[in-house]
Amino acid sequence: MHCCVERHIAAPNGWYSGIYRVICAVISGLRHMHEGIDRSGERSQELLVLARGGDKDAFCELVKIHQASVRAFIARYVHDSDQVMDLAQDTFLAAYRRLHQFDSSHELFPWLRGIARNCALEYLRRTGRRRRREEAAMEESLALWSTERLERDDNGGMDYLQELKNCLAKLAESSARVVQLRYFQQLSVDEVAAELGRTEGSVRMILMRLRQSLRKCVEDELHVEEAQK
Amino acid sequence: MTEEEALKTWEEFLHGRLSKEDERLLLSALKSDVELRNKVLDDLELHRVLMQFGVGEEEFLNSFRERLNAEGDHRAITDAVAEAISREGNTGRGGRRSIFRVLVPLAAAALVLAAVGLYFFHGRHAQVRPIRIVMKTGPVQEQGNEFATGNDTYCRLAFADGGIIGMDKNTRLAASFVGEPAAKQIRQDAGRIYLDVPRQARPMTIDTGTFKVEVLGTSLLINRTGQEYVSVLDGRIKLMCGEIGTYLRTGQHAFTGAGQPITVFTAPLQPQMLGWIGSIGLEAKGILDESESGTRRLSAGGLDLNNYVVDGGLWNIRTEGTSTIVSQELASGGHILFGPSRWKKGDLVCKVRPVRPLAPGADMGIGFFYPQGGKEGYSLTKAARLFRQYDAWINLRMSFEVDEESNTMTAHAVDLSVEGHPEATWSFPAGEKWIRRPANSVLKERGPCRIALNCWNCAADFRDLRLENAVAGDADADGPLFAYIFKGGKRDKIEDVSGVGEAVAMTVGKSANVQWLDDAIRLTGPADIACSGEMQRLRKAWKQNKAVTAEAWIRANQFTAKEDLPRLFMRMKVSGATLWFDLGKEGVPKDRFVQAAWVCYDDGDSFKTMFFIHGGQKRLERSIKGNMSLDTRQGPIEFCLVPSEKDDAPGRETKELWQGDLIALKIYGRKLTPEELRLSAEAGPPK
């Protein structure tokens, strides 16, 4: 079994190995995807040229490469998963239309990220008023604070997902499984608890700590990357 | 609440396990503690990103591809049209009015959606075709950059960097491109071509074998059918015949033959020389004017308009009664229709068919576009989707109305039916309306709107795409500014049924001399049927277009023979200047419905009139004495039918009054063409 995790932990046996493989596949996919970006700068340039000429298939190839990062960026600020999906698609549609404006001597993701930021901001501002009328106080406040954060966001071309991927690869096996059940398989907390034979409260605590460690890891990665620049 | 308690509570909130009371306490803690709030928000961001892992990439990509193919086209339509029309406001009107120059932007705007088919890629670099077909009326032989039209086919070509060639039927040419920037070289082997090229860095040459033409930027006509000649419509060209050369300027023509000297003369372009260009859509100049960009021309692979690549697609132009409709077929299978501008109400009639019956994007809508920017539209999403399961044509009729005063656009009386499926019908609930108010603007500040129908993911049958009963909104309108139908009345008031702006009724001054019939009003003496108010719209149109047309539907009881005297029918008066409209001596059989039309206009030197019956010109153009310019005359316009006044004003030929039945009268703020009048005559009197 070849997987990014195997450098950190031994491959498990029995029923555990199935889930492990899923996590490996996801993480490996993420890594491969991003390595793909790095490796295929030339290919991206080719795709860009083709897409600028109106080749939709070529553009879809570019979308395939960047969609996860763009979605991840939008998801940081927009709560509704369906909206994240729509806004990410809006981002790519807008990019397709403005492709001729893009300076191909630069990286594509920071440009996409800028478009995504505008799309998300427009959405948040548009729905802000409605939120104030219709939604609970906590949701309203979170949306407001998220909007403020996004307005301040000046994280250049930083790819949050890239850093998160690195950190996920460092997770211990048991932690990876919780993440896999809760976030990859989208099980509810009580379903995860049942699956793991734990109480809901303990699963919530595990998830909280997991995110704390992931967050710290992401921040460290971002700092390292920034320092290297 | 301690930080640890708060984070624990936050975790419960995140997973939907928090009571309202605890939520309130948590919120209070977050509001008061910025550090805690930031921790929570960091955590929330991570949680949301992790939640995205559950969304499949394939699901996202499939959904996106669907939007790219479907909604992308739709947006391109609306944005492109809005962009094209918004530029109208910035277009100077004083420049040269080359027909092709007018055509290019609209064609380009409409071609936006035709997407990407003519790009070719060689290696890593996209190569744009330097010349390509942008419109054709039938099959055109095409091999590389060589094109040939057949016996009944016309074609229009566009250069990638600007400029257009119109090809008459039975025309053959080849284009080549030399150097960088490329010098265009056209070899015309047969037929007739019409060129409109922008100023460019290197001269373009056209070689007919007999002579060679060099142009830098101009429009011209080159004929190789029968006598070979070159006509310059605008600009300047260099003409070479062997070793002999000369320059031609606007309005000059030259003909020559092998070994013969060049004969140059100056004369107006004859209709038979240019008539054929209507077949490639150039007659719709009036409409296309409105979309003229003034500066932008076709560029690489088409016009880069509002971030879209313009390419491909064919378009059609059709005359409906007194209106011309331009429509564009889209590569996506959709359709876009441009109605004349400034129509404020009417019935949109069309027939569409989902290209992909089960596709979520199968849709259609009607949009209103404004020169000053902005667009509003009705989407018929739900209605159109009702019938997606049918693999059949869907007929749509929708009445719409734009009201600037109330700042609303209203759609009512929407009817949908599926052909071959009588059970499948859908109508707007009686009396119900869809009313739209622009969110951030006032309609009357945007200027007159233009209507466009968008169908995306739908095939549209062009033959069944039309606007009916459309009424125009102001002086620039194609339709009548005032319309009166004289039937079944009893009172002495005849309403203005044009539906355009403020109605101006007519009143009968001498009731004793009129008799109301079921279908007309019978005039037996001076009636003094006059407009009761100021005809502001007519004044505006007259000042702007320097022309007016009056079209009357009548049944005469007098002028049956050519020897009859002319009879005074109508009078128009402004600040003492008067136009007299008479008829008679036309030899029209008695008791027959007649459509009579007077076309009056200012040609710069004087006012002139022409008289038509059923579209046929009955009197030669002639000048009217007196000054009818509304630039200097400020008084109200008085319009009167069969006036009792009998002075001897200049231009009046008779003191005899016309007698007969008057059925309808329509007044236009422009010159109607004989063809328009003929079509209107064929349509019969308004009901």
Kindly report, residue by residue over B41-70, the tens digit of the pLDDT. 888 888 888 887 777 777 778 777 766 764
Neighbours of A12 (CB within 10 A): 16
* pLDDT cut 70: percent of chain A above it: 71
Q: Return the residue of B nearest to A89 by Cα.
A: B64
Residue B233: both structure tokens together: 């419509």
Six-digit token pair at A103? 């300076």
B512 burial (CB, 10 Å; 0-12 / 13-18 / 19+) is exposed
Whether residue B257 has pLDDT greater than 70:
no
- Within 8 A of A98 by CB-CB distance, chain B residues are 307
Query: Is residue B81 very low, low, confident or very high in pLDDT (cuts 50, 70, 90)?
Result: very low
A61/B283: higher pLDDT: A61
Could you tell me which residue, A163 or B548, shows the higher pLDDT? B548
Least trusted range by pLDDT, from A207-221, B17-31, B201-215, B368-382:
B368-382
Q: Find all residues with CB under 8 Å of A111, minimum gap 6, and list them.
A: A95, A102
Kindly state the average pLDDT of the residues B313-326.
Answer: 45
* Chain A residues whose beta carbon lies within 8 Å of the beta carbon of residue B111: none
Q: Is 60 exceeded by the pLDDT of residue B310?
A: no
Alpha-carbon gap, residue B426 to B415, rounded angstroms: 6
Cα four-point dihedral sign B621, B625, B630, B634: negative
The sheet with strand B493-494 has its strands ordered as: B493-494, B506-508, B529-531, B637-641, B567-574, B577-583
Contact A158, A24 (CB under 8 A): no
- Asked whether the beta carbons of residue B72 and residue A93 sit closer than 8 angstroms, the reply is yes
Q: Is there a contact between B208 and B256 (Cβ–Cβ < 8 Å)?
A: no
Query: HSE (CB half, 13 Å, CA atoms) of A156?
Result: 9
Q: CA separation (Å) from A66 to A46, A116, A203? A: 15, 12, 32
Kindly report the number of other CB atoms within 10 A of residue B581's CB atom: 21
Q: Which residues of chain B lie closer than 8 angstroms to A45, CB-CB?
A: 124
Long-range contacts, stretch B441-445, CB < 8 angstroms, 24+ apart: B441/B374, B442/B407, B443/B370, B443/B402, B443/B403, B443/B404, B443/B407, B443/B408, B443/B409, B444/B404, B444/B405, B444/B407, B445/B372
3-class secondary-structure state, position A221: helix
* Position A113, amino acid: R
Checking if the pLDDT of B187 tops 90, the result is: yes
Closest Cα in chain A to B120: A53
CA atoms B8, B9, B11, B15: torsion sign: positive
Residue B71 confidence (pLDDT): 44
Indicate the range of A218-227, B27-36, B369-378 predicted with least confidence. B369-378
Q: Answer yes or no: is pLDDT of B243 > 50.
A: yes
**Between residues B603 and A208, the one the model is more confident about:** A208
Structure tokens at B169: 């039927």
Asked if the Cβ–Cβ distance from B307 to A101 is below 8 Å, we say yes
Looking at residue B380, what is its pLDDT? 58
Q: Is the per-residue pLDDT at B470 higher than 70?
A: no
The per-residue pLDDT of chain B, averaged, comes to: 68
Q: What are the distances in angstroms from CA B4 to CA A102, A214, B29, B36, B273? A: 47, 18, 12, 10, 90
Closest CA to B381 of B361, B351, B356, B359: B361
pLDDT above 90: percentage of residues in chain B: 4
Task: Please answer yes or no on whether B41 and A54 come within 8 Å at the CB atom.
Answer: no
* Interatomic CA distance for residues B643 and B569, integer angstroms: 8
pLDDT exceeds 80 at position B401: no
Q: Are A111 and B79 within 8 A, CB to CB?
A: no
Residues A186-207: pLDDT tens digits?
A: 788 888 888 888 888 888 888 8
Closest by CA to B383, choosing from B410, B357, B412, B414, is: B414
Beta carbons of A179 and B50 less than 8 Å apart? yes
Asked if the model's pLDDT at residue B487 lies above 60, the reply is yes
Residue A71 sits at φ, ψ, to 5 deg, of: -60, -40
Q: Report the pLDDT value the prediction gives residue A156, as an integer from 0 to 100.
A: 54
List of chain A residues whose C-beta atoms are within 8 Å of the C-beta of residue B50: 164, 179, 182-183, 211
Least confident of B39-53, B389-403, B451-465, B546-560: B451-465
Helix/strand/coil for B394: strand
Strand B172-178 with B183-190, pairing: antiparallel
CA B514 to mean position of chain CA atoms: 41
Q: How confident is the model at residue A30 (pLDDT cuts 50, 70, 90)?
A: very low
* Beta strands B304-305 and B433-436, pairing class: unpaired
> Which residue intervals of B177-320 are DSSP H helices?
271-274, 285-289
d(CA B608, CA B368): 37
Contacts of B125 in chain A (CB under 8 A): 49
B591, B554 contact by CB (below 8 A): no
B305/B645: higher pLDDT: B645
- Using CA atoms, how far apart are residues B72 and A96, in angstroms rounded to an integer? 9
| Amino acid sitting at position B533 | G
Give residue B22's pLDDT: 81
pLDDT of residue B314: 46
Q: Tokens 């260099």 — which residue?
A: B238
Beta pairing class for B521-523 and B660-668:
antiparallel
Element (H, E) at B173: strand B172-178
> What CA–CA distance (Å, rounded) separates B225 from B246?
22
Residue A138 has pLDDT above 70, yes or no: yes
Which has more pLDDT, B114 or B77? B77
Rounded CA-CA distance B77/A97 in Å is: 13
Q: Mean per-residue pLDDT for B208-232?
A: 83
**A123 contact partners, CB below 8 Å, separation of at least 6:** A78, A83, A87
Q: Which two tokens stand for residue B463?
A: 């033959």
Neighbouring-strand partners of residue B608:
B601, B623
- How many Å apart are CA B570 and CA A16, to the nearest integer? 98
Interface contact A54-B49, CB threshold 8 A? no
For the stretch B613-635, pLDDT in tens is 887 777 666 666 656 666 667 77
- The helix (H) or strand (E) run that includes residue B641 is strand B637-641
CA distances from A96 to B58, B127, B151 (A): 19, 19, 42
Task: Evaluate whether A173 touches A196 at the Cβ level (below 8 Å).
Answer: no
Which pairing describes strands B183-190 and B204-207: parallel, antiparallel, or unpaired? parallel
Q: How far is CA B208 from CA B162, B174, B223, B225, in A?
A: 22, 11, 9, 11
Say whether A142 and B44 touch across the interface (CB within 8 A): yes
Q: Which residue of B has its CA nearest to A159?
A: B49
HEC profile of B315-359: EEEEEECCEEEEEEECCCCCEEEECCCCEEEEEEEEEEEECCCCC
> Rg of the Cα trace of chain B?
31
Query: Are residues B226 and B205 in contact, defined by beta-carbon separation less than 8 angstroms?
Result: no
Select the residue of B13, B54, B306 nearest A138 (Cβ to Cβ): B13
Interface confidence, given as ipTM, is 0.77
A207 touches chain B (CB under 8 A): yes
Nearest chain A alpha carbon to B52: A72
Minimum-distance CB partner of B49 among A52, A93, A164: A164
Helical ranges in A80-107 per DSSP H:
81-97
Contacts of A188 in chain B (CB under 8 A): 15
Q: pLDDT value at position B674? A: 78
Inter-chain CB proximity A211 and B46 less than 8 Å: yes
CB B112 within 8 A of CB B144: no
- A36 interfacial to chain B (CB closer than 8 Å): no
Contact B68 A60 (CB under 8 A): yes
